[in-house]
């Protein structure tokens, strides 16, 4: 091959002189010629890789795939040659980088990214991902419920524990009856000119909480468990505080419109945290940690982005509806609104995307040949 020659140690002349055998052959490369000959193929592969990396969803034609494979083989072969020659660090590193990039493309067996369709993702992929990890959601719900019971019990047994159990916000720490009386006396729009800011604050704050709940799954789920339990403690303590003060209507009217979406969203974040923890622990799964993480990584991303979408809606409702009370908006109206939202969330998570999944399975049954054509169905 041009640009590259293999001789007995010291070249044919030396081999003749001292009788070296061909298997002790040391590769000597004419670097300049080697680079000049290889460069067109290297640059072609580099350009092809850049195109692939810019638009991974674009499909290559059969001819392009063949060319890509040829170039990968060619550059790999050049790397093998240059790797035997210790002096050529620069060329070797360049070729290593090229081969590394091409290797990632050639040997990738995971699904190629396709064009993102937001509506399909939200109404089909997200709820189906949720249903695939129902046990993790059940665990998140159970932990939150346990936290609620603990918070309510602590408030019932020791009312002074309110300072410890609840965040130190003024409206929460006040006596519920006093707060309700003050809120119901207001006849003007006290949040005028602050509602959009409020919505943005609720969206971002709750999203941060959701991300932290998911991320804490990396502590084998202990952090997620603590976060969900603490969240439950607050909800339980506030509920008992207002119920004992006889302000249940106000409480439900205040929390339900946004809570019917926000609380399930936080539970979904907890679900994602437990899915992460389960993949890290890997009980009963005889595959490597790397393989387990590959299995769940897309689901985690789908869940957390779905949670953020839900929290955007919850933030809008919390700023524009939840903070207004009787007489501006009757409690009954707010409670009905919250109940409708909750029903929609349940229906969405339980049924959305089922039809798409069934159609896909039917298409699969028609188009996929049976694994063993001779076997009985």
Partner 1 sequence: MKHAQKTLTVRTPEGISFPLPIATPISRFLALAVDLAVIYGAMTMLTVVLALFGLISTDLAGAFWLLASFLLALGYPIVMEWFWRGQTLGKRLLRLQVMDEQGLRLQFSQIVIRNLLRAVDGLPLFYLFGGVSAFLSMRGQRLGDLAANTIVVFHPKIPELDFDEIRPAKYNSFRDHPHLVARLRQGVTPAETGIILQALLRRDRIAPEARPALFVRLRAHLERKVRFPPEVVEGLSDEQYVRNALDALLK
Residues 80-99 that bind partner 1 (CB under 8 A): 80, 84-91, 93-94, 96-97, 99
- The CA-based angle 21-24-28, given to 5 degrees, is 115
Tell which one of 51, 66, 120, 294 touches partner 1 (CB under 8 A). 294
Question: Could you tell me the CA-to-CA distances from 230 to 142, 154, 164, 166 in Å, in that order?
Answer: 13, 13, 11, 10
Residues 32-61 within binding reach of partner 1 (CB under 8 A): 32, 35, 53, 56
Question: Could you tell me the CA-to-CA distances from 146 to 200, 235, 270 in Å, in that order?
Answer: 30, 11, 14
Minimum CB–partner distance for residue 25 and partner 1 (Å):
11
C-beta of residue 296 within 8 angstroms of C-beta of residue 276: yes
Tell which one of 103, 175, 178, 351 touches partner 1 (CB under 8 A). 103
Among residues 76 and 141, whose Cβ is nearest to partner 1? 76
Residue with tokens 């039809």: 355
- Helices and strands per DSSP (H, E), number in the chain: 16, 2
Interacting stretch for partner 1, rule CB under 8 A, among 17-25, 59-67, 122-130, 230-238? 17-25
Tell which one of 51, 65, 70, 104 touches partner 1 (CB under 8 A). 104
> Does position 227 bind partner 1 by CB under 8 A?
no
Tell me phi and psi for residue 186, to 5 degrees: -70, 125
Tell which one of 37, 46, 67, 105 touches partner 1 (CB under 8 A). 105
Among residues 243 and 280, whose Cβ is nearest to partner 1? 280
> Does position 207 bind partner 1 by CB under 8 A?
yes
| Bridging pattern class, strands 26-29 and 4-7 | antiparallel
Tell which one of 197, 222, 346, 358 touches partner 1 (CB under 8 A). 197
> Which x/- pattern over 296-315 shows residues binding partner 1 (rule: CB under 8 A)?
-xx-xx--x-----------
Strand positions, DSSP E, the chain: 4-7, 26-29
Classify the C-alpha dihedral 276-278-282-287 as positive or negative: negative
Interacting stretch for partner 1, rule CB under 8 A, among 6-14, 157-165, 169-177, 352-360? 6-14
């Amino acid at each position: 091959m041009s640009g590259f020659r293999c001789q007995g140690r010291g070249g044919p002349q030396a081999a003749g002189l001292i009788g070296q055998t061909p298997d002790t052959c040391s590769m000597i490369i004419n670097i300049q010629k080697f680079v000049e000959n290889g460069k067109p193929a290297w640059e072609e592969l580099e350009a092809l890789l850049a195109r692939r990396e810019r638009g991974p969803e674009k499909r290559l034609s059969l001819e392009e795939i063949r060319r890509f494979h040829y170039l990968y083989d060619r550059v790999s072969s050049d790397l093998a040659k240059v790797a035997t020659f210790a002096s050529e660090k620069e060329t070797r590193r360049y070729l290593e980088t090229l081969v590394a990039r091409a290797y990632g493309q050639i040997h990738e067996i995971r699904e190629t990214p396709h064009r993102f369709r937001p509506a399909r993702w939200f109404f089909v992929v997200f709820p189906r991902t949720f249903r695939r990890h129902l046990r993790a959601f059940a665990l998140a719900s159970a932990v939150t419920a346990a936290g609620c019971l603990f918070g309510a019990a602590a408030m019932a047994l020791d009312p002074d524990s309110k300072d410890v159990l609840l965040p130190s916000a003024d409206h929460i720490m006040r006596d519920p009856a006093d707060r309700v009386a003050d809120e119901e006396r207001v006849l003007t729009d006290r949040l005028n000119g602050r509602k959009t800011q409020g919505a943005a604050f609720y969206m971002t704050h709750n999203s941060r909480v959701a991300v932290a709940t998911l991320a804490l799954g990396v502590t084998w789920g202990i952090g997620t468990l603590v976060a969900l339990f603490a969240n439950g403690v607050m909800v339980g303590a506030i509920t008992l505080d207002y119920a004992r003060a006889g302000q249940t209507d106000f409480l439900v009217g205040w929390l339900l419109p946004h809570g019917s979406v926000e609380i399930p969203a936080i539970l979904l974040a907890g679900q994602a945290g437990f899915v992460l923890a389960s993949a890290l622990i890997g009980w009963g799964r005889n595959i490597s940690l790397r393989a387990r993480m590959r299995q769940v990584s897309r689901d985690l991303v789908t869940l957390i982005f779905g949670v953020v979408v839900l929290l955007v809606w919850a933030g809008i409702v919390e700023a524009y509806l939840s903070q207004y009370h009787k007489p501006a908006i009757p409690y009954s109206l707010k409670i009905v609104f919250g109940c409708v939202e909750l029903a929609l969330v349940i229906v969405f998570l339980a049924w959305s995307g089922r039809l798409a999944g069934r159609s896909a399975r039917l298409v699969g049954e028609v188009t996929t040949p049976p694994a063993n054509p001779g076997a009985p169905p």
